[in-house]
Structures are given as structure tokens and as C-alpha cells.
């Protein structure tokens, strides 16, 4: 068993809340690294998800000597295969519209609405490094739906369930979401 709590190397409060809940479901405690350190500047996104997640985990772990979780995530749209990916956050930050509104506008009149969302997690405990990945392929809804979670979850539509991720209760959300799958992969490695 690892020392707890695990620190999350991220500034994204929505991501912190979601990961905290997912880790709590697995009997682990997660909190922001800012409970131990002042806010840090993480390097701009690199060329791949693993590199980005590990850089964040390494930076915080070197300063705290505590278990640290670094993450990176992104979307891939089948209709626009060369856009987004590892640069999702940077691409969306440059748009004049909020992320969900931008995606809906970008996909207006586009037939192929397939989306794949990825979550890459790197847990650093001392010199040990564990890596986990989770992904979900679904459809982009034609409008935002659901209030049980936020962000892209309101657009990620699961045809087999007839619901978006934001319409799923916590247990089902953890089973289907990219982050839920990544956390499950990581927890399997811890036991």
C-alpha cells in the first residue's frame, strides 16, 4: 500500500474533483498538490500524453517527496483526425467560444461525430513509476445533456445507453469514462 494522500499535479479543479471521487471509490485519498506547495508553472504540453503526465508528476514529487499523480488527457474526433489530440487543451484555449460550444459549432453539419477521449495517468512513488491509460469511444451529442458531471461529459453520448456521461450516476460514470477506466487500470497495478 502506498502512503496517502496522493497529490494531484494539476490546476484543473474539475479534473481534481472527478479524480478525487474516482480514487475515493477505490479507497484512496487524493488532494491537490497546492496543499503542500505554492502553485507551480508546469511546462507547456509536450509531444505526447505520457511525457506531459510524467513531467507534472516528477516536478511535484521532487519538491514534496510524496506520491504524486500526473495526468494528461485529450480528445480525438474522427471527422478531424489531425486536430486536438495531445494539444486539446491548448487548441481549445485559443478559441473564442467555451469548449463545448466550440465542438458543437465545429461539428455542425458533420455526419461523423465519433469521439475518443483519452486519460493518461502517471503515479510516481519515490523512484517507482506506474502508468495507466483509459479511453472511451462514443459520439458527440447534438447538444449538451446532463447535470451529473460537467465539461465534455455533457457531449459524450453513449449510444448503447442512450445517455451522455453527464447523465450517468457516479458508479456507472466511473465504469464508462476514460478517467474511470484509467484509475481502475492504475489501482489494479497497485495490488
Q: Which residues are catalytic?
A: 72
Residue 156 in contact with residue 141, Cβ under 8 Å? yes
Q: Which residues of 99-129 are buried (b: 16+ CB within 10 A; e: fewer)?
A: bbeebbebbeeeeebebbbbbbbbbbbeeee
What element of type H or E holds 21? helix 13-25
Q: How far apart are CA 136 and CA 157, in angstroms?
A: 10
Q: How far apart are CA 183 and CA 25, in angstroms?
A: 10
Amino acid at each position: 500500500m502506498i502512503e496517502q494522500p496522493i497529490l494531484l499535479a494539476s490546476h484543473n479543479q474539475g479534473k481534481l474533483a472527478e479524480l478525487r471521487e474516482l480514487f475515493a471509490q477505490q479507497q484512496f485519498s487524493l488532494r491537490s498538490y497546492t496543499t503542500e506547495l505554492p502553485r507551480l508553472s508546469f511546462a507547456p504540453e509536450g509531444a505526447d500524453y505520457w511525457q506531459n503526465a510524467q513531467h507534472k508528476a516528477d516536478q511535484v514529487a521532487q519538491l514534496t517527496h510524496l506520491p504524486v499523480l500526473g495526468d494528461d488527457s485529450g480528445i480525438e474526433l474522427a471527422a478531424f483526425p489531425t486536430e486536438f489530440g495531445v494539444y486539446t487543451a491548448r487548441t481549445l484555449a485559443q478559441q473564442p467560444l467555451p469548449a463545448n460550444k466550440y465542438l458543437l459549432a465545429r461539428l455542425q453539419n458533420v455526419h461523423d461525430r465519433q469521439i475518443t477521449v483519452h486519460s493518461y495517468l502517471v503515479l510516481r512513488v519515490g523512484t517507482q513509476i506506474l502508468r495507466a491509460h483509459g479511453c472511451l469511444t462514443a459520439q458527440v451529442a447534438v447538444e449538451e445533456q446532463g447535470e451529473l458531471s460537467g465539461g465534455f461529459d455533457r457531449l459524450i453520448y453513449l449510444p448503447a445507453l442512450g445517455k451522455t456521461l453527464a447523465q450517468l450516476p457516479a458508479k456507472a460514470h466511473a465504469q464508462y469514462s476514460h478517467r474511470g477506466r484509467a484509475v481502475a487500470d492504475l489501482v489494479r497495478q497497485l495490488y
